[in-house]
Structure 1
């Protein structure tokens, strides 16, 4: 089904509004019938961009009657990920932060007419959790068909690794525009070729490069995003994953970047475990909510001064004794810095119109961004979820 009437979206765990931004970027007509979030900082960012969000709403206060009245066509959600991460001790259903999601599953079991569609995002690892098992059981009992994925923005041409679990579900008799699999898929099911838009004008609706189904709205989305980010829009063949642009298109050039330089303590203690990239790099590590305040595994740092060779600096550093002033002086030549919050937002594909309010600190910005979603990936999934079936 192609939606001409506004898609009624219920946004759960809305955070800073990533799901709503994705719906906006999709070009689909939609209406937010409800938005549930309790984190005050996230709500402040949400209100900066969507002023009508006025107060916190707790999912635990949602009941069957209220869900019936909201009558959503689709639930879009990104439940708390901590119960499924190593740092969160993987307590799964025993973690109190899972209680609201289990409450939602109970509502889906009871509501007379559940929503036609569901889009869910979470961390890699959710797919092996007891919570996921309960979700699948609920979907099966309520007559849904579904597909699970593990996808990263790099597959969509974005130089940032952020592997995440995604689930798309539809109520029967609706079906998807691609073949379903019982296993979690590591590839996007539709064509992601750079020249894919040309397929739409040919006799076949499948790509002659990758043999996957082609969707014009998806190619328009990818083309629009990449041309907005890069002055030289892609003019080559292959998939977006094969032609990752450099980070230079995502980095600030005019801002005062000195506040983001790593201090001596960090350089001295953590220089051997930093993931260091520069303007020419075509990759960066996943940014977490602890970025710039914890070092290990929270995201990459930028070598701001590329006139010196990092290999030579590190070679000389390793020859020096621990805690010598010369070591710090050498490392400081690299001018290693954190990505700014705006750069992180760019790599997470938030559009240029999206604003982070000046009233919140950088630490708060990193935290809410680290808890958010990649807009391009979710928008792409929303387009194929709402696309009519294979026939």
Structure 2
């Protein structure tokens, strides 16, 4: 069966990449996102896909029905369910488009499969309850997950909520659990070492600036043999704490010794910074972050997209490998 897919909140096309990676038969009929920069990147990588720059709420029911899709892939705005978004949940206007979709879901009678991704925290939200209640009302089987890329062999921590849903009149061999699933049934082995994805030549512009080295103790420092990285956010390279890991060519022993020497000086002092300068800490490049998010090797950003835009778009994107594996379960 050739599936017809609608990709909503499409961003830079992470869901599209996941569909391709799953090797399932089908086509992205239409993708929709309001972000013009993300759409430029999407079109650069998927020039043949019909992409609409529009607010989801502007899609009429008749328009959606006209696409005649049987699958919806989507990653609605996550800010209403985060600390920075003040956990406003359904009171945040950024949930309006998703609430609109929930409201008309019963009218989309050709849709048989749904995959939805969001941040950890969504599982405790009122909007989640609205979504699940609607799935039950229109007789969809569903399963919720909290999964990290490290569980599928990717050296990156990016814990996210996922829900896969399927009409009950379609046979599904997947054994549903009432609670959130945190581990997929298949074995993937340990995450690979970062050496596998590192670029060989990285310009000095990626070196961490001295003003950030003053806060060196909050950095998550990785090296070639590391098999983990922290979640990369849209604020990567602009803030230090909790925005993503940094890299050094030095080995673990040299890293430990360097920080011991640095901490003998006043935290943030010139002497402290000089010690850390010897590690030549640098940011992961957009290409390396793409690899850690399991985008295909031929995926690229257009030359006119700035570095800041690259990181912002990546911070708002999805992990391709996790979604690919969930699609295989969804379509069984």
Alpha-carbon distance change, 178 to 310 in structure 1, aligned in 2, over 3 angstroms: same
Equivalent residues in 2 for 1:283-302, closer than 5 Å? 283-302=228-247
The answer to whether 1:47 aligns with 2:43 is yes
Correspondences of 1:270-285 after superposition (within 5 Å):
270-285=215-230
SS of 1:309's equivalent? Answer: helix
TM-score (norm 1): 0.82
Maintained 8 Å contact 1:117/1:171: yes
CA shift for structure 1 position 114? 4.8
1: distance between equivalents of 2:260 and 2:251? 16
Do the aligned partners of 2:213 and 2:268 also contact (CA within 8 Å) in 1? no
Distance, in Å, in 2 between the alignment partners of 1:10 and 1:41 is 20
> RMSD over aligned Cα, in angstroms?
1.5
1:23 aligned counterpart, secondary structure: helix
Deviation at residue 51 of structure 1 after TM alignment: 1.5
1:306 deviation in Å? Answer: 3.6
**Per-residue displacement from partner, 1:145-190 (whole Å, max 9, x unpaired)?**
10000011111111111111010100112243221111111111x3
Look up the match of 2:201: 254
For residue 365 of structure 1, report the CA deviation from its aligned partner.
Answer: 0.3
Moved more, 63-72 or 150-159: 63-72
1:264 pairs, out of 210, 214, 222, with: 210
User: Which of 241, 245, 249 in structure 1 is aligned with 2:192?
Assistant: 245
The corresponding residue for 1:70 is 67
Match of 2:255 in 1: 310
Alpha-carbon deviation of 1:255? Answer: 3.3
Q: 1:374 to 1:276 in 2, by over 3 A?
A: same
Matches within 5 A, 1:146-165: 146-165=142-161
Change in Cα spacing, 1:21 to 1:84, as seen in structure 2 (3 Å) is same
| Alignment partners' CA distance in 1, 2:96 and 2:305 | 29
Q: Which residue of 2 aligns with 1:96?
A: 93
Where structure 1 has 5 or more consecutive residues not aligned to the other structure, the ranges are 193-238
**Displacement of 1:10 after TM fit?**
0.5
The one of 77, 102, 115 aligned to 1:80? 77
Distance 1:172 1:153 in 2: 29
Equivalent residues in 2 for 1:140-179, closer than 5 Å? 140-179=136-175
SS in 2 for 1:272: helix
Work out whether residues 30 and 51 of structure 2, in 8 Å CA contact, stay in contact via their aligned partners in 1.
Answer: no
Correspondence list, 1:10-25, <5 A: 10-25=6-21
Residues 209-250 of structure 1 show CA distances to partners (whole Å, capped at 9, x for unaligned) of xxxxxxxxxxxxxxxxxxxxxxxxxxxxxx41xx32211111
**Following the alignment from structure 2 to structure 1, what is the Cα–Cα distance between the partners of residues 129 and 158?**
23
SS in 2 for 1:298: coil
In 2, the alpha carbon distance for the partners of 1:357 and 1:277 equals 28
Cα distance in 1, alignment partners of residues 266 and 75 from structure 2: 47
- Tell me if the contact between 1:246 and 1:279 (Cα under 8 Å) persists in the aligned partners: yes
Q: Distance in 2 between matches of 1:381 and 1:322?
A: 45
Matches within 5 A, 1:24-43: 24-43=20-39
Report SS of the residue matched to 1:76.
strand
**Structure 2 length-normalised TM:** 0.96
Give the stretch that moved more between structures: 89-98 or 311-320.
311-320
Where structure 2 has 5 or more consecutive residues not aligned to the other structure, the ranges are: none
